[in-house]
Structure 1
Amino acid sequence: MFAKKYLFFCLFPTLIFAQEKILSADFDGDKINDKVYLDSKIGAVVYQLSSQKFKKVSSDQFEDSGEIFFYKAKNGFRVSLNQMRASNAYQFRFEKETGKMRLIGMERYEFGPANNDGSGESSVNLLTNTYIGEWNYWDNHKTELIKIPTIKKKMVLPKAYFDNLGNAFSTYINKDTSYYLAEKKRLYKE
């Protein structure tokens, strides 16, 4: 029996770690610690605020996404989803007017395929509507990876909340990709 448990922990250490990970900090400003964690029973990330009597608020946006990590942020928390060659992160902050955790920023990075075409990272601050992209493309003529100059643009997305993210991330990725492709087309003549 010990050998089976040991083998299971060796094969799936991050899965076990992610399921038991709990972030505890004061997110709603009442000086009582709140919680963010992966609830393996319902297969979703959950937060519980002391000011709301620790009622469970869940989001189905984060399930089956690889490794999940939670981090304390300056004014809230971050949920980071790491996959093999990519990662997505969401940042939330308590909004007193609605009593909800509002999505205030998103980030992502990708390594791209073996030649790293399309590799890089980007972020959007949803409070200032500021997008910054640091991307690369593979130049077939020079046979080298070329860094695209930093892309800074305005990106306006609708307000989104932890329990109702809707298509916020897919909208961000679509706009991000269009910015990257436009810059690549401008710089690279096949």
Structure 2
Amino acid sequence: MNAVKLFVLPVLATAMMMTGCANRKPAANVDATQNPSTASTVNTDGLSEDAALNAQNLAGASSKGVTAANKAFLAKRVVHFDYDSTELSNEDLQTLQAHAQFLVANANSRVALTGHTDERGTREYNMALGERRAKAVESFLVTSGVSANQLEAVSYGKEMPINAGHDENAWKENRRVEINYEAVPPLLK
């Protein structure tokens, strides 16, 4: 009986973690020709109610908390990691500090932090590593004053590579956390 529990519990935990990721729907695309601060309608056909609401929220971008000094860092929405690491680089800390400043100034902003890994390792290990990376970014932002209610950490592990290659350059690109604004993104114009 104990052997069954030892097998079933990790399997259930992994299934629960993966279910949360599988149900995530991306926000709708906002027409880039529209001015986000004046756009009143966004095409939300085929989206769930939550995703449609997120798409509408994206149309209300904010310039509050955007400065000339942090604009370039706010434009960067990806931080990268070394192999099997959750350590943030100095360059990434500057990027995250700019996002923290914006999020503190815009309490209605919401961000999904999606953790990714390269293709090496098991699916389970990479799901956990992707989560640790997303949580490392989340922890830095919360420590910088961002409300935890504005953040959601999600892991995709090795399931969504940005580069399909099988070499160090591809792996380096795939070891990342993406900063995805789901409500009130920075207006960088």
Q: TM-score range by the shorter chain?
A: under 0.3
Of Structure 1 and Structure 2, which has the larger fraction of its residues in helix? 2
Of Structure 1 and Structure 2, which has the larger fraction of its residues in strand? 1
Higher relative contact order (CA 8 A, sep 6+): 2
Larger radius of gyration: 1
